[in-house]
Chains A and B, each alone.
Chain A
């Protein structure tokens, strides 16, 4: 921790200590190690900057209003991402409505009501951790098999995509909500119970309201992950030519990541530029979502 370094340098500034450790810090080996560490961080950020700069340069010719207003077309000069934008909004909106209540409910059960020593609850807990590490494409296969079993012929519908993404981010939301609930001190609950509130009243009026910032942060981060996800939707056949606005849960759709994938695979350079421009759009949306999440975390999160 830096507090050690701070303590040492503070001691140097004051009374001269018996052993400063100063020479040790300036040994060639130690300096080389520090340089290596900075290099590691610099490479990570360097790649991030390179990625952003290259896609901006590549896509700059296609940053026009057409991207928002036009439908995909066979010629890059007439194509836009309008149905993909609307499709992303439909799918993510549906995912949010489906997942957030379920995830919060499961987390409340595990954190507030469940007997943690009971084998079933321990199984649920272990299972949630495992689900968070399952590859996203497997959730696509799950949704595909489920829809096939239900006899759904056309799987490229908004509700199907939202189902796959919901299952994907459910563990993430459960884990984030549990952390937020855990941060609420036990005294709040005990005070509420002591005043005669029932356990559910305690959860609904005290614990949950106190943990809303943490839940919101986790939920937004999870949704931003779903927003950029393409693999499960690909399995469900979302890679289609959509020349209409998606208008309901049973409507066909395509999303921004799928549209980028589609355009990346075309041979014409113009489509690659469109893919780059759409990537910039996607990144802007995701950075905005992350920014909101971090803002909520820093602004509203209570510290007890």
Chain B
């Protein structure tokens, strides 16, 4: 599933000569042809329109929001209570919950995802790989709401509370983060595997000829050579963790408090949007605008992460 998601600066595409050097030979103008091409171009323009639409859709209500709540109070305030009588709009509690779930998810997804990727790219027999890869892709295809159910019922309810007897309530950022990590494993594994497979075999053979075993070859030759793709995979994993909604909405809890430990519950930015949308907010009210202000922050964070990754990948890319 994740294999269809292309990442900025993934494996380089071979350069193909322009297949249509035709304009010089066209006789009469073909209006039908021109109309079709215009239609195709409009479809491509629609993608830009989507982005502009997102920006406008998030910006206009946010302007209304920031007219009432100062930007600094929003970004650095430590109390989030948009629906209370003495309302307060400090987004820090939501950010801490997002940070906890994201970090926990990455602690799971990065080692396990990279381990699986190395095994598939460097060790597994091609036949085994043909079987294992689709199964890993099934893991990516599990709907997040099912992961959320699993996190709440099994991980939080059974494992953390019954088996490990941990002092935690009905929800925790730990359960949500752990399951989110599992959700991200295939993303990281699939893209890292692609970039490690793209490292030319001559490098491995050279390393083996110098007497290195496969572990040394993997860690000292293949891994550095594939670093840009691996970093891109991890960054994509981060932006998926930050933007994931259903798992945290179900299992992380819905009280916006500053989260100080993994066993506490907390409401993430996405969790807030999902929960607030359930209640009926009147269009134009401050509650309605709050949704978009938090959405704008979320969008800005993922965009920033994505651009950093593109820059990093350009800088460290090894072309063979």
Contact = CB atoms under 8 A, between A and B. Distances in A.
Q: Do A and B bind each other?
A: yes
Interface of A: 1-5, 7-8, 19, 21, 24-25, 27, 29-30, 33-34, 36-41, 43-45, 47-48, 50-51, 54-55, 58, 102-103, 105-106, 108-110, 112-114, 121, 123-124, 126-142, 144-146, 148, 167, 170-172, 174-176, 179, 182, 186, 189-190, 193, 198-200, 202, 218, 221-222, 224-225, 227-231, 234-237, 239, 257-258, 260-261, 264-265, 272, 275-276, 279, 282-283, 286-287, 290, 294
A193 B19 CA distance: 9
Given A228-B141, A294-B134, A131 B50 contact: yes
A130 B141 contact: no
A137 B236 CA distance: 16
Nearest to B127: A2
Nearest to B292: A141
Contacts of A133: 236, 239-240, 302, 306
A127 B60 CA distance: 21
Interface residues of B, number: 112
B50 to A, nearest CB: 6
A37 B119 contact: yes
Contacts of A202: 20
Interface in B136-194: 136-139, 141-150, 152-154, 158, 182, 185-186, 189
Contacts of A275: 149
B124 interface: yes
Would you call the interface of chain B mostly helix, strand, loop, or mixed? helix
B44 to A, nearest CB: 4
B270 interface: yes
Nearest to B136: A44
Contact of B51 (A103, A127, A282): A127
A102 B46 contact: yes
B153 A272 contact: yes
A63 B201 CA distance: 51
B141 A290 contact: yes
Nearest to A37: B119
Contacts of A282: 143, 146
12 contacts: A2-B125, A4-B214, A109-B43, A109-B44, A127-B51, A133-B302, A137-B295, A141-B54, A141-B295, A199-B22, A276-B153, A279-B149
Contact of A4 (B46, B116, B208, B303): B208
Interface of B: 1, 4-8, 13, 16-17, 19-20, 22, 30, 32-33, 36-37, 39-41, 43-48, 50-51, 53-54, 56-58, 60-61, 111-116, 118-126, 132, 134-139, 141-150, 152-154, 158, 182, 185-186, 189, 197, 201, 204-205, 208, 211-217, 236, 239-240, 242-246, 249-250, 270, 273-274, 277-278, 280, 283, 291-292, 295, 298-299, 302-303, 306
Contact of A123 (B48, B58, B114, B273): B48
Nearest to A225: B1
B201 A1 contact: yes
B144 A230 contact: yes
A58 B153 contact: yes
Q: Which of B37, B143, B236 has the most CB of A within 10 A?
A: B143
B132 to A, nearest CB: 7
Contacts of A45: 135, 139
Given A5-B123, A172-B4, A40 B43 contact: no
